[in-house]
Amino acid sequence: MARRDGEEEEAAVRAAQPPSSEDDDEAPEELSFGTARAEAEAARKLAGEAARRHRELLKEKRRRRQELFTEQKRRKLLPEALLQELAR
């Protein structure tokens, strides 16, 4: 059984690797510092915007939930106030 696990692991490693091509001996594509910097800045900006949107959604969700609780409390208190008025 241990041998089968090893074979499955090797198959998973082979599947994760990109298919080999004749271009394996070529150097990777070179990027200028400016291009790499611009790409990094764009990725940072995109991540920042996503985080900001996430915070805004959470804030809106909390606000709606608080409004719901306030409304539920108001509905609960209203009948008690009417009962007290009628009892007087």
- The H helix count followed by the E strand count for the chain is 2, 0
pTM equals 0.49
Q: Which pLDDT band holds residue 87 (cuts at 50, 70, 90)? A: confident
- Whole-Å CA distances, 52 to 33, 48, 62: 28, 6, 15
Does 36 or 82 have the greater pLDDT score? Answer: 36
60 occurs within a structural domain:
yes
pLDDT of residue 11: 65
Does 80 or 11 have the greater pLDDT score? Answer: 80
Express each pLDDT in 31-81 by its tens digit: 899 999 999 999 999 999 999 999 999 999 999 999 999 999 888 877 777
- The domain in which residue 46 lies consists of 32-87
11 occurs within a structural domain:
no
13 occurs within a structural domain:
no
22 occurs within a structural domain:
no
